[in-house]
Amino acid sequence: MRYTTTALLFTLCAWVLPAQAFELEAKKVTDKVYALVGDIDQRTKENLGLNNTLGFVITDDGVVLVGSGGTDEAAKLIEASVKKVTDKPIKQVVNTGSQDHHWMGNGYFIAQKIPVMALKRTVDSQEAFKAPNLQRLATALDKKPEDFKPVAADNVVDADTKDFTVGGVAFSLRYLGEAHFPGDAVLWLPDEKTVFAGDIVFNDRMLGLLPETSKVKAWLATFNKLAELKPEHVVPGHGYPSDMATAQKAVGDYLGWLVEEVGKAVTDMEDIGDAVKRLAADTRFDFLKFHKEWNSRNIHQTYMQLEAE
């Protein structure tokens, strides 16, 4: 078989070029607001643990970044993703979440003299669950927990609400109640009618009720408080930005279904195994990724919680 010079070079390049590096997807929400959508799949070494959604707001004075990733490497990728959209510098970082990939990259920005703000509830939760989160992150990235040196926010607000303005944009950092992790907060932009909902909202993939952190009734109540803001745009903690109706379908309706249907099973004293098997056969939420992996576990966890009440 004879190759032309061009064909031979193309073949050789195909052998030696590395696979395309993982990139965050910048999705425009409003003229000022962008979501940075990570992998919808699980955390891996390739995606730097960024299977969550972060975001940023462009103001007259610079950029307000929501979330810092889980490592310095992830933080650098986030910074580079922002620079692809705007040449304005990052002026402020805000932590809304307690899980590793929302805050453990703080140190990269603090080293650049960029302040990081968080509610004290959030920081306390980050510290309380730091060890297991470090272990999960290390496992995903094929490292050891001691390889990471997470740094807490350097502007800790001892209140449940902090209103502030940057470059003419109004922000409100709020704790609405328990959800995926204790202390998770939201960042509300009233003029933009946009909420960075953090892990209160999982779009596109099924949420997970973690035995050590997530209380189904509390999460539902917190989601309902978020809905009272009447946001036009929701930037979730996982998945793509959406309207409130989409978030309601993926989270509010699902949590409500768990509380109602599993609650009936508990009241009727149905065997937990039978209840899980019966309810897991319901397909109304199978449009969410990981439905098969998480739904049965969520039903089981809900049963345990409601039975203990």
Looking at residue 35, which CATH number applies to its domain?
3.60.15.10
> Is there a domain that residue 13 lies in?
no
- 45, part of any domain: yes
CA distances from 231 to 118, 193, 246, 255, 260 (A): 22, 5, 12, 19, 26
Which residues are CB-neighbours of 10 under 8 A, at least 6 positions away? none
**Sole residue written with tokens 């929302």:** 102
pLDDT of residue 21: 81
- Does residue 2 lie within any of the structural domains? no
Predicted pLDDT at 31: 98
Q: Would 156 be classed as within a structural domain?
A: yes
pLDDT tens, per residue, the chain with 309 residues? 443 444 444 443 443 434 458 999 999 999 999 999 999 999 999 999 999 999 999 999 999 999 999 999 999 999 999 999 999 999 999 999 999 999 999 999 999 999 999 999 999 999 999 999 999 999 999 999 999 999 999 999 999 999 999 999 999 999 999 999 999 999 999 999 999 999 999 999 999 999 999 999 999 999 999 999 999 999 999 999 999 999 999 999 999 999 999 999 999 999 999 999 999 999 999 999 999 999 999 999 999 999 999
Q: 278-306: buried (b, 16+ CB within 10 Å) or exposed (e) per residue?
A: ebbeeeebeebbbbeebbebbbbbbbebb
End-to-end Cα, the chain, rounded Å: 74
Distance of CA 92 to the CA centre of its chain: 19
180 assigned to some structural domain? yes
Instruction: Give a yes or no: residue 1 inside a domain.
Output: no
Number of folded domains in the chain? 1
C-alpha atoms less than 13 angstroms from C-alpha of 96 in its C-beta half-sphere = 33
In a domain, 119, yes or no: yes
> What is the domain extent for residue 57?
21-308
User: Does residue 12 belong to any structural domain of this protein?
Assistant: no
